[in-house]
Chains A and B, each alone.
Chain A
Amino acid sequence: MNLSLSKFTVVLAALAATSLEAANPVTGADAPDFVLKSVAGSNVRLSEQKSDVVMLAFTASWCSECRARDAHLAELYRRYRDAGLVLLMVSLDDDRRAAQSVASRLDADFPVLSDPRGETGRLYRIDKLPTLVLIDRAGVVRDVLVGDTTRGGGADERVRMLLREL
């Protein structure tokens, strides 16, 4: 009895740790457009990234679970950027300086956008961090992955699949 209970606990913990595809209402629809200022000072509009595969990663400086995921996504971006992969990291911190700390931590060579009022987060119905939204070349939201996506390789394979699509 104790053994089966501990096994059950282990399974539950593993499930919690892996990336879960939430039933987000934006999945399958055109990605809602937005424009945000990056910590580097430029303005970035999502609709200008059409024809590229976009990883829209929601994060925050206070989110400890986001750190490993953010580093993994940065590495994935560097590997596939020449194939048309774009990474937009949206910091939901209230303070722009906190968003700047996210960019510094990652040594970001991609836009880290500041959304202090949380408008873009509300647009994508983000209620948990970390969340990764995958958008295909036609601007359609294909996947919404909640949690740490570094385990199980789920995000990697889905990104590769989207890059292979014409």
Chain B
Amino acid sequence: MNERLESSNEAVASRRRKQRSKGPRAMVTAALATAAFALSAAAQEAGKPAPQFAVDDAAGARAGEFRTLDEEVQALKKLAVDLNRDLFLLEEELLFPASTQVSVFVSMDVGEFFALDSIELKLDGKDVASYLYTDREVDALYRGGVQRLFAGNVRAGEHELVAFFTGQGPHERAYRRGATLKFEKGIGPKYIELKISDRESRLQPEFIVVEWE
């Protein structure tokens, strides 16, 4: 009987020991499980996008900055262009003051009877300009372009301008013609135009030198 009692006591004791050892282990397991749960919750939270209103503010601020910068750049560009234009006008005024300035322009009309190759200009017997025209430049003149062939300075008084036009005339023959203008240089600037046009009545090109009023 004593033996039976001892064995049952032993069984109880061992059961109690087991329970005692299970306790801390269970606590540790529970703690670990809680920690794991907390970590996964935090990871999920981090994966979520930031609240929408914060992102919009940042993007809007950046867009606003770029707009301002762009406007500033455009304003600087405009200033540079305006300064360049003013500089050009001042340079023209310095190099060719109105009191001595004479400018010669070239224009063409239709051009069926004459294909322009080159123009030479003499002012008071001196060579002042010589220009070879490419196909592209001749096309620009046909389309209504006006070229400033020469800009120079002459004293007040009487002067003589002679222009020689070289090219291909009717029937693709080599063609060279001259035109002369005697003009009076006054106080103001003098503008002269060399006009090349077709004279239908004679089926020949016409070269006219005119003064602008």
Contact = CB atoms under 8 A, between A and B. Distances in A.
Interface of A: 35-37, 42-45, 48
Contact of A37 (B132, B135, B136, B137): B132
B130 to A, nearest CB: 10
Most buried by B among A35, A43, A48: A43
B32 to A, nearest CB: 63
Interface of B: 117-118, 132-137
17 contacts: A35-B132, A36-B132, A37-B132, A42-B134, A42-B135, A43-B117, A43-B118, A43-B132, A43-B133, A43-B134, A43-B135, A44-B134, A45-B132, A45-B134, A45-B137, A48-B134, A48-B136
A42 B136 CA distance: 11
A42 B167 CA distance: 11
A48 B134 CA distance: 9
A11 to B, nearest CB: 47
Contacts of B132: 35-37, 43, 45
Judged by DSSP, the binding face of B is: mixed
Most buried by A among B118, B132, B133: B132
Contacts of A44: 134
A114 B198 CA distance: 31
Given A35-B132, A36-B132, 16 more contacts: A35-B134, A37-B132, A42-B134, A42-B135, A43-B117, A43-B118, A43-B132, A43-B133, A43-B134, A43-B135, A44-B134, A45-B132, A45-B134, A45-B137, A48-B134, A48-B136
A32 B121 CA distance: 24
Contacts of B118: 43
Contacts of A48: 134, 136
Contacts of B135: 42-43
Give the 5 A-B CB pairs with smallest separation, nearest first.
Answer: A43-B132, A35-B132, A43-B134, A45-B134, A48-B136
Contacts of A43: 117-118, 132-135
A44 B136 CA distance: 10
A37 B118 CA distance: 10
A49 to B, nearest CB: 11
Contacts of B117: 43
A46 to B, nearest CB: 10
Contacts of B136: 48
Nearest to B117: A43
Contacts of A42: 134-135
A130 B162 CA distance: 41
A68 to B, nearest CB: 31
A99 to B, nearest CB: 16
Nearest to A37: B132
Nearest to A36: B132
Nearest to B135: A42
Nearest to A47: B134
Nearest to B168: A41
Nearest to B131: A35
Nearest to B133: A43
B136 to A, nearest CB: 6
A45 to B, nearest CB: 5
Contacts of A37: 132
A93 to B, nearest CB: 19
A117 B136 CA distance: 25
A43 B133 CA distance: 6
